[in-house]
Amino acid sequence: MSTVSTELAPLPRRENRAWKKLRANPAAMVGFVLVAFFILIAIAAPILPIDSPIATNWSQIRKPPSALHWLGTDDIGRDILSRMIWGARASLLAGVISVAIAVVLGVPLGVVSGYLRGWTDATISRMTEALLAAPFLILAIALAAFLGPSLTNAMIAIGLSAMPVFIRLSRAQTMDVLTEDYVESAHAIGIGHAALIWRYILPNIFPPILVQATLSIATAIIAEASLSFLGLGQQPPAPSWGSMLNVAKNFLDQAPWMALWPGIAIFLVVLGFNLVGDGLRDALDPRDT
């Protein structure tokens, strides 16, 4: 027995499998390109050679697309291209910040709930169920109306409405991780509660939360557009795709392009986030290798 060699040949390094799978997925790559495009123009808005999004021009009212105004002008002569680009900021910001609110509040509540169980879990879970009982958009509208119309309040309202999903998800994932052998072996080396949550639970529940967050950004962008359409989000004259649609609905016959561009933009950015989210889900799914 003692003649058996205890030396092993080193294994070759492996590339990150999830990233490789994601790159091999054309739909996800299309999604990435779409999302990256909108993020770029939103960031670059102040330095792009475009008109002011709020400058009116009474000689250029409801003009169709032309060399001067590539996407046309709206009912008070503002350049639609400029309003689209600045509106992307409102949409993306609302999408990202409201989901960040949902994650930052929802994940800790869910992890605590799944980790402690007992009455803490019962309290948090019943409250989550109460929030989930109301449809997402209705809840967001109610909260936004309660907080008062502004983009910031819309983001808070959307974030709070999206939070229950993250509580549920992280609670279930935490309970799942707690049954793993490596948690038992963590107990066996005397790991404390804080280290167990930070270094064992959170990193292992991260992938499904990332997927859910990406998909939730798409939903949040639609929610922001809906709230702005209803006048509960971005306030005039600041541009947002939702509020542009709201105005455009009065001129569908005379100036259909006013509704067309924001509609297409919302469609594309939501499609982009959904494709990325689906791609991430497939790439991070351990069952399917």
Task: Specify the stretch interacting with another protein by CB under 8 A; choose among 64-72, 198-206, 211-219, 222-230.
Answer: 198-206
- Binding to another protein by CB under 8 A, coded x per residue (else -) over 81-120, reads ----------------------------------------
49 lines the binding site for another protein (CB under 8 A): no
Q: Quick one: which of 5, 59, 254, 289 contacts another protein (CB under 8 A)?
A: 5
Choose between 129 and 184: whose C-beta lies nearer to another protein.
Answer: 184
Q: Quick one: which of 204, 210, 263, 285 contacts another protein (CB under 8 A)?
A: 204
State the DSSP code for 236: T
Torsion sign (Cα): 54, 58, 62, 68: negative
CB of 3 to another protein, least distance (A): 9
Q: Please give the backbone phi and psi of residue 168, each rounded to the nearest 5 degrees, phi first.
A: -55, -50
- Binding to another protein by CB under 8 A, coded x per residue (else -) over 168-197, reads ------------xxx-xxxxxxxxx--x--
Distances (CA, A) of 65 to 42, 69, 156, 260: 21, 6, 36, 12
CB of 168 to another protein, least distance (A): 21
Choose between 1 and 67: whose C-beta lies nearer to another protein.
Answer: 1
Choose between 185 and 250: whose C-beta lies nearer to another protein.
Answer: 185
Choose between 126 and 287: whose C-beta lies nearer to another protein.
Answer: 287
What DSSP string runs through 41-89? Answer: HHHHGGGSS---TT---TTSTTPPS-SSSTT-B-TTS-BHHHHHHHHHH
CB of 19 to another protein, least distance (A): 14
What percent of the chain is helix, strand and coil (3-state, nearest 5)? 70, 0, 30
Nearest to 95 by CA among 276, 206, 224: 224
Nearest to 239 by CA among 42, 15, 4: 42
Q: Quick one: which of 20, 23, 199, 249 contacts another protein (CB under 8 A)?
A: 199
Q: Please give the backbone phi and psi of residue 79, each rounded to the nearest 5 degrees, phi first.
A: -70, 120
Nearest to 75 by CA among 237, 184, 213: 237
Q: Please name the residue that has the structure tokens 């509704």.
A: 259
Choose between 207 and 263: whose C-beta lies nearer to another protein.
Answer: 207
| Spatial separation of the C-alpha atoms in residues 75 and 234, rounded to whole Å | 18
Q: Give the interface size with another protein as a residue count (CB under 8 A).
A: 30
Choose between 199 and 249: whose C-beta lies nearer to another protein.
Answer: 199
Interface residues with another protein (CB under 8 A) are: 1-2, 4-11, 13-14, 180-182, 184-192, 195, 199-200, 203-204, 206
